[in-house]
Structure 1
Amino acid sequence: MTVQSAYQEEQQRLEEALRDIHAQLQAIGPRYKGDDFTEQMLDLQQEERRLRLEISKKEPYFGRIDFQELPAGDQKPMYIGKAGVAKQGSNELLVIDWRAPVASLFYSFTGGDAPAAYESPDGEVTGHVHLKRNFMIRQGEIVRLVDSYIRGQEEGSVTDEFLLYRLGENKDNKLRDIVSTIQGEQDRIIRAERNRALFIQGVAGSGKTTVALHRLAYLLYQYADRMRAERMIIFAPSRMFLDYISGVLPELGVGDIQQTTFSDWTLELLENAVRLDDPSRTMTYWFEERRTAEEIGHSSGRFKGSLAFKAIVDERIAEFKKRIVPAVSFVPIDGLELNPEQMQEWYDTDYGEEPLMKKRDRLVSRIRRWFESELKLRRVTDKKVRAKALAKLASFTKKIPAYGSPELYASLFQGKQAAKGVPKPVAATTAERLGSGIAAVEDLAPLAYIHLELFGLPAQAFDHIVIDEAQDYSPFQLEVLRRCQRTVSMTVLGDLQQGIHAYAGIQSWEELMGLFDEKQTGFYELNRSYRSTMEIIEFANKILGGMTGGVKPAVPVFRSGDPVALVQTEDEAWLEAIEASVAEWQSTGQYETISVIGRTALECERIFQHLTGKGFSASLVQSKQPAYGGGLSVVPVYLSKGLEFDAVLIADAGGEAYGELDSKLLYVGCTRALHKLKLLYKGRLTSLLND
């Protein structure tokens, strides 16, 4: 069959599918407005079906695979799309959902005449693939059709043609789904067993964030009877990044998943009992805590993020627990005594594994019930006697300690109660902050941990947790989130080479994986970068000089582009050089998103003022910014992580801007570019680029 005849046949099939989808949408009635519960449930099912059809209407499918089941099955064409759709009035599938077991063939099969297999609910199914075809459909028209495999006519040169075409497209201000171009190594992560903590080391541009989002959609499809979207949560590095990824899940037909940052989640958990300190002071605290870490022989990560500090917190919680049950008897009236042994028995046996403060409150309630029961049994009616007994009850129960997490945490650093192992400089600084109701970023994990121990989870446990940029998480942070699940189910992803905050995070994934039983974890590496051209990736790899933590360098997809440009400029002509580069790129019309990446927020402010003063329409990305708007932007390098742009201009790659300790920062900045990368430098070029 010729390409033209294949196109005509597929276009006709597409039009038939669209007519069917439109007819099904038209047949769906209005929403139910009444109070009948059964009708409400039916209405929800109908609305879910309508949403699936709306997704399919825009792009019914993106792939086709012709499969012949062995030993003697018929060859059947199967069309793969974002949402499964059955033909109107029939059980025959018009489109197979990409998450269905048989659809895994579309992602796992890479060619060859050997039998292929997929795991069905009934076991492994084996057969022959005869055709693998990719589509791009826009406005009801097939705009691109690529056969990546035809049995007996395999051509390796076209295997990645469709992928390269999609990678060559320009970028807007949102992360896109990759459902039509999921690669085999990505698909294995997406479909991995749910009851595990998956750790993903992914190089810049490997699609790790998108893979994690697709994994959420897959889990909700595969385990619909055991997992709920509202019991899933995504932890991202910033609110702006949350806005950037916000379109992926709705495009996959998934909603109601919580999306937050660790800081925002903790402050909400604590009901804003503390407020977050100015992040600019973080480095001061880091120097204090580095000294602390050296004193106790702990060299990696923050002291307050370490398991050594968690042990100190655990000791204080254990001390508090011992003081909850009074060590003396309660004697409200002569001849009536409640001894400590009875109270201890109530505390130990009646309230199970409930959180400490709930057990404390129940103990107080039990003492009050005992008090009322005994007075009634003894027929104590004298008002003066009762009033005196009630006063004794109030005094006794007040002595049973009640703490909030800020108070208990603060006790680690205050006066004679200060915990052993916390040096005086750190204790004094932390106590001063907490006394004013202020917490630093590194205080949030222990505060959240103490709150969970005291009060438990505010709602249901999480069915699944996604942690992005996890290389910047401490072991204590992950331990907090681990305690928010009854059964381990996590996707933890990041890149050790993008750990740009030297005072935070980890040096190796083993620091986080060690929190789990070995059987509960899985480790995956995504070393192939799909974002940037070969020239950009090879350039960025050289910046690091050598990978740390056992990480392998990024391997680019075979997509070639312009060489990376290095251009020297003098300080007095620097802003004009930035302006000229931006004007040249905009004049070509090739790039929808352009970013000028500066070293500091102050430098970016200066660049932004110059560009807008010259009439450019630009946006300045700042730390508390809730959204990224696309177009021309000026971004501090430390806020660029996770974002990507068609063209990137590093404002200054001189020796004053990037020293020997800044290799990861410069690496992050360069790997934001999809198609074009240029570096200006004032004076002497950074030694990171000497070669």
Structure 2
Amino acid sequence: MRPTTDDPLELERAHLRESRAALRAMRKDFENLDLTDIAASWVSAEVVRGEVRDRIKTLADLAELPLFFGRVDYLHPPGGAPAGEDDGPERYYIGRRHVHDAGGEPMVLDWRAPVSQPFYRASRTEPLDVALRRRFGYERGELTAYEDEHLTDPAEAATASRLLAAEIEKPRVGPMRDIVATIQPEQDVIVRMDIGDTLCVQGAPGTGKTAVGLHRVAYLLYSHRERLKRTGTLVVGPNDSFLHYIEQVLPSLGELDVAQATVGELVGKQTGLAVRGTDTARAAGLKGDARMAEVLRGAVRSHVGRVEESLVLVRGSRRWRVPQHELQELVDQLLEREMRYGAARDALPQRIAHAVLTRMELAGEAPDDRVQNAVARSAPVKAVVKAVWPAVDPAKLVLRLLSDAEFLAAAADGLLTEDEQAAVRWAKPARGVKTAPWTAADLVLVDEALDLVERTGSLGHVVLDEAQDLSPMQYRAVGRRCSTGSATVLGDIAQGTTPWATGSWEEALLHLGKKGAAVEELTAGFRVPKEIIDYASRLLPHIAEGLAPASSVREALGSLTRREDGDVAAAVRGALRHEGSVGVIVADARMAQVRSALEAAGVAFLDDPGAETTQERRVTLLPASLAKGLEYDHVVVDEPSLIVEGEPDRRTGLRRLYVVLTRAVSGLTVVHSVPLPEELAA
């Protein structure tokens, strides 16, 4: 029932109640569908039932999330026709999903719909036919406030949005939230880019690059649902903690079918092998070097032999002979075509059979396709193929490469020095595939070898986050999985903390197989306050020369605190006086010591960064090596110098520290008794 009042807030609350009732009705309609006798087979019937179940899930009314967060009133109906005198403004509510009433009239529009785009991009200089933009404030799903911008009213002064700032600064207890209500114009441009465009986003801390990548997936699924339903989508993250942190973003936007994995999980699933060993930093760097792709290619092709004798095939009373030199020409032609090893091996018997059929036709016979297939399957032809182009097991090939010095030397000749070959070989030769001391870098090599033999399946779209830490061989592994699709690459050169960290995005895109893709840069920060990002940016000249420092739209004086007493427990107790989550980030080697200090002080904490924080347990203790991609309302950084010293070299250590210092949304406390790194203290 509509309220008998002119109070705009009460009217909006009434629309919210009516919209939620309409959403419940939409869900009820799907729940009441009669699915008996819906298809000719039980398989197709089960597919339909699964689709209905998924649709019911997407229509859930998540009470803690606002059903709509904005409204746009157009001067004219979208499409250009002027509104009638009595029609009033063309008004649309913008939310996470589409909601319509019993008559099919929209009550809430999906934020991805074209008519919703001006909500994000309209401005006073370019109003896009928007007379009014209204933002809504919520508390636990209940509408509490609204804020208007009259974009075509020259008398109204432009002011910063309080509600927008409040939404960005809202305490972060639990997993990552979507940013659908706060997407900025430069972010929206990236989100809505075409599915055919591979895009690389260089983003400083707090610029929202991860959220932009996830919302881009949601937008593409909305715009190209059938296509991506066939081809699939994937989000690749740096570790399980990061994936757990972001895993609720897409479901909150109604998207349930996007797979998530680390590079290690991708290649582990493909190869069927488990990591059983570790590499030195040098060995891991060499195994991740792009030269290893050529080493593997040479190792695979080394199995192709020379034809030693002619083929003689007996069919009935006739003998057909294909000379040795002609067979060798067929082999050479396949090698020149650069086909995958397995596809070429499958093609060779047919080519030999065709040579035999040519002779039959010259002799006056009229063989058909059945004869050619029979010849291709004959014992003499199989014997030639087995001898010249034997089957290759990719895992056994890599095992031999890492165990057999002579085999590696032959494949790596002119590519790796003797010293580099010694560095990548295992200390002891392995006896079997399942018991071999495979490392994470080794499995990427097996994945490459698998693709050299048989093509890896391609998805429609892949999002690759924290990409700056991937090796060239890891880029190739991800690139294989979107070879016929597109990708969104997200990262920050300044946050590269592996010995093989990306030097430039152009080089990374080349290894990914997406040479020439556009690189967009996000520099406006919304998450990290200015005082904190300015402090962390002292490190930039030492870790990423020439990279522009991030600016922050958030002025939060007093957000940075420094303590020289080394009392990390006291710093945590101070952070707990504020609302929201608290991350305590320490050098990996200091974890046990700080854990004991927090326990002695009676501070309740989680020591699994993948665990979900609660109001009772708001503190998470985590090593610096796992901080990347995570964010907390308040961060306590323990002994920055020890974080730097925990890495193989100083540059990598300073990059690790840069990551750690930029995890805070509201407040950062730096605790130390050891002098700060001179690059930070300057």
TM over 0.5: yes
Confirm or deny that 1:504 pairs with 2:500.
yes
Looking at structure 1, the residues matched to 252 and 97 of structure 2 have their Cα atoms a distance apart, in angstroms, of 10
Asked whether the 8 Å contact 2:202–2:522 carries over to 1, the reply is yes
Confirm or deny that 1:37 pairs with 2:23.
no
Confirm or deny that 1:649 pairs with 2:636.
yes
Deviates more, 1:524-533 or 1:140-149: 140-149
- One-letter code of the match for 2:479? R
Mark the CA change 1:529 to 1:433 in structure 2 (over 3 Å): closer, same or farther. Answer: farther
Looking at structure 2, the residues matched to 13 and 580 of structure 1 have their Cα atoms a distance apart, in angstroms, of 48
Q: Which residue number in structure 1 is paired with residue 392 of structure 2?
A: 403
Looking at structure 1, the residues matched to 145 and 9 of structure 2 have their Cα atoms a distance apart, in angstroms, of 9
Confirm or deny that 1:484 pairs with 2:481.
yes
Mark the CA change 1:179 to 1:497 in structure 2 (over 3 Å): closer, same or farther. Answer: same
Mark the CA change 1:332 to 1:178 in structure 2 (over 3 Å): closer, same or farther. Answer: same
- One-letter code of the match for 1:510? E
Looking at structure 2, the residues matched to 355 and 35 of structure 1 have their Cα atoms a distance apart, in angstroms, of 46
Alignment of 1:529-608 (within 5 A): 529-545=525-541, 548=544, 550-569=546-565, 574=566, 577-586=567-576, 588=577, 590-600=578-588, 602-608=589-595
Q: Which residue number in structure 1 is paired with residue 90 of structure 2?
A: 76
The alignment partner of 1:435 has SS state of: coil
Alignment of 1:406-555 (within 5 A): 406-410=395-399, 412=401, 414-417=404-407, 418=409, 419-420=412-413, 421-432=415-426, 435-436=429-430, 437-457=436-456, 460-501=457-498, 503-515=499-511, 521-545=517-541, 548=544, 550-555=546-551
Instruction: Please report how far the alpha carbon of residue 499 of structure 1 lies from its aligned counterpart in structure 2 after TM superposition.
Output: 0.7
Looking at structure 1, the residues matched to 155 and 214 of structure 2 have their Cα atoms a distance apart, in angstroms, of 33
Mark the CA change 1:282 to 1:508 in structure 2 (over 3 Å): closer, same or farther. Answer: same
- One-letter code of the match for 1:130? A
Looking at structure 1, the residues matched to 6 and 544 of structure 2 have their Cα atoms a distance apart, in angstroms, of 51
Confirm or deny that 1:100 pairs with 2:87.
no
Q: Which residue number in structure 1 is paired with residue 188 of structure 2?
A: 187
Instruction: Please report how far the alpha carbon of residue 551 of structure 1 lies from its aligned counterpart in structure 2 after TM superposition.
Output: 2.0
Asked whether the 8 Å contact 1:469–1:493 carries over to 2, the reply is yes
Mark the CA change 1:433 to 1:653 in structure 2 (over 3 Å): closer, same or farther. Answer: same
Q: Which residue number in structure 2 is paired with residue 294 of structure 1?
A: none
C-alpha distance after superposition, 1:523-572 (max 9, x if no partner): 11111111122211111112334662542101111331424222212xxx
C-alpha distance after superposition, 1:148-184 (max 9, x if no partner): 4453166555333222101221112311100011001
Q: Which residue number in structure 2 is paired with residue 282 of structure 1?
A: 280
Q: Which residue number in structure 1 is paired with residue 622 of structure 2?
A: 635
Mark the CA change 1:137 to 1:27 in structure 2 (over 3 Å): closer, same or farther. Answer: farther
Instruction: Please report how far the alpha carbon of residue 410 of structure 1 lies from its aligned counterpart in structure 2 after TM superposition.
Output: 4.7
- One-letter code of the match for 2:115? V
Mark the CA change 1:42 to 1:563 in structure 2 (over 3 Å): closer, same or farther. Answer: closer
Looking at structure 1, the residues matched to 385 and 513 of structure 2 have their Cα atoms a distance apart, in angstroms, of 44
Looking at structure 1, the residues matched to 228 and 475 of structure 2 have their Cα atoms a distance apart, in angstroms, of 21
Asked whether the 8 Å contact 2:196–2:486 carries over to 1, the reply is yes
The alignment partner of 1:233 has SS state of: strand
Asked whether the 8 Å contact 1:596–1:635 carries over to 2, the reply is yes
Q: Which residue number in structure 2 is paired with residue 10 of structure 1?
A: 12
Asked whether the 8 Å contact 2:300–2:392 carries over to 1, the reply is no
RMSD: 3.7
Alignment of 1:111-130 (within 5 A): 111-112=124-125, 114=126, 116=128, 128-130=129-131
The alignment partner of 2:426 has SS state of: helix
Looking at structure 1, the residues matched to 232 and 668 of structure 2 have their Cα atoms a distance apart, in angstroms, of 41
Asked whether the 8 Å contact 1:343–1:363 carries over to 2, the reply is no
Looking at structure 2, the residues matched to 480 and 560 of structure 1 have their Cα atoms a distance apart, in angstroms, of 42
Deviates more, 1:511-520 or 1:193-202: 511-520
- Of the three residues 318, 328, 332, the one matched with 2:309 is 328
Deviates more, 1:505-514 or 1:628-637: 628-637
Confirm or deny that 1:264 pairs with 2:265.
yes
Looking at structure 2, the residues matched to 680 and 139 of structure 1 have their Cα atoms a distance apart, in angstroms, of 35
Looking at structure 1, the residues matched to 627 and 156 of structure 2 have their Cα atoms a distance apart, in angstroms, of 39
Mark the CA change 1:426 to 1:438 in structure 2 (over 3 Å): closer, same or farther. Answer: farther
Q: Which residue number in structure 1 is paired with residue 205 of structure 2?
A: 204
Confirm or deny that 1:214 pairs with 2:223.
no
- Of the three residues 676, 683, 687, the one matched with 2:678 is 687
The alignment partner of 1:615 has SS state of: coil
C-alpha distance after superposition, 1:373-432 (max 9, x if no partner): x9xxxxxxxxxxxxxx97997798367422222333355553333221322333234332
- One-letter code of the match for 2:437? I
C-alpha distance after superposition, 1:318-357 (max 9, x if no partner): 444x43x7443355889675655358659968xx997422
The alignment partner of 2:59 has SS state of: helix
Looking at structure 1, the residues matched to 381 and 72 of structure 2 have their Cα atoms a distance apart, in angstroms, of 79
- One-letter code of the match for 1:249? L
- One-letter code of the match for 1:427? Q
Instruction: Please report how far the alpha carbon of residue 471 of structure 1 lies from its aligned counterpart in structure 2 after TM superposition.
Output: 0.7
Looking at structure 2, the residues matched to 23 and 242 of structure 1 have their Cα atoms a distance apart, in angstroms, of 34
Instruction: Please report how far the alpha carbon of residue 48 of structure 1 lies from its aligned counterpart in structure 2 after TM superposition.
Output: 4.9
Asked whether the 8 Å contact 2:644–2:656 carries over to 1, the reply is no
Instruction: Please report how far the alpha carbon of residue 612 of structure 1 lies from its aligned counterpart in structure 2 after TM superposition.
Output: 2.2
- One-letter code of the match for 2:449? I
Structure 1 spans left out of the alignment, 5+ residues? 117-127, 287-301, 375-388
Asked whether the 8 Å contact 1:55–1:253 carries over to 2, the reply is no
Mark the CA change 1:78 to 1:405 in structure 2 (over 3 Å): closer, same or farther. Answer: same
The alignment partner of 1:267 has SS state of: helix
Structure 2 spans left out of the alignment, 5+ residues? 84-88, 361-377, 431-435
Q: Give the TM-score of the pair, scaled to structure 2.
A: 0.82
Asked whether the 8 Å contact 1:598–1:650 carries over to 2, the reply is yes
Instruction: Please report how far the alpha carbon of residue 583 of structure 1 lies from its aligned counterpart in structure 2 after TM superposition.
Output: 2.2
Asked whether the 8 Å contact 2:123–2:151 carries over to 1, the reply is no
Instruction: Please report how far the alpha carbon of residue 614 of structure 1 lies from its aligned counterpart in structure 2 after TM superposition.
Output: 3.7
Fraction of identical pairs, as percent: 26
Looking at structure 1, the residues matched to 61 and 313 of structure 2 have their Cα atoms a distance apart, in angstroms, of 70
Looking at structure 2, the residues matched to 444 and 463 of structure 1 have their Cα atoms a distance apart, in angstroms, of 24
Mark the CA change 1:404 to 1:450 in structure 2 (over 3 Å): closer, same or farther. Answer: same
C-alpha distance after superposition, 1:194-234 (max 9, x if no partner): 11220100011111111111111111111123222761111
Instruction: Please report how far the alpha carbon of residue 261 of structure 1 lies from its aligned counterpart in structure 2 after TM superposition.
Output: 0.8
Looking at structure 2, the residues matched to 147 and 434 of structure 1 have their Cα atoms a distance apart, in angstroms, of 70
Q: Which residue number in structure 2 is paired with residue 290 of structure 1?
A: none
Instruction: Please report how far the alpha carbon of residue 451 of structure 1 lies from its aligned counterpart in structure 2 after TM superposition.
Output: 0.9
Mark the CA change 1:94 to 1:44 in structure 2 (over 3 Å): closer, same or farther. Answer: farther
Asked whether the 8 Å contact 1:198–1:523 carries over to 2, the reply is yes
Asked whether the 8 Å contact 1:462–1:484 carries over to 2, the reply is yes
Q: Give the TM-score of the pair, scaled to structure 1.
A: 0.81
Looking at structure 2, the residues matched to 518 and 257 of structure 1 have their Cα atoms a distance apart, in angstroms, of 22
Looking at structure 2, the residues matched to 196 and 71 of structure 1 have their Cα atoms a distance apart, in angstroms, of 30
Mark the CA change 1:158 to 1:56 in structure 2 (over 3 Å): closer, same or farther. Answer: farther
Q: Which residue number in structure 2 is paired with residue 314 of structure 1?
A: 297
- Of the three residues 605, 617, 628, the one matched with 2:604 is 617
- One-letter code of the match for 2:438? A
C-alpha distance after superposition, 1:105-156 (max 9, x if no partner): 11111224x551xxxxxxxxxxx21100111345663123122445316655
- One-letter code of the match for 1:422? L
The alignment partner of 2:255 has SS state of: coil
Q: Which residue number in structure 1 is paired with residue 370 of structure 2?
A: none
C-alpha distance after superposition, 1:486-520 (max 9, x if no partner): 4341001100111122x122111121234589885
Asked whether the 8 Å contact 1:655–1:684 carries over to 2, the reply is no
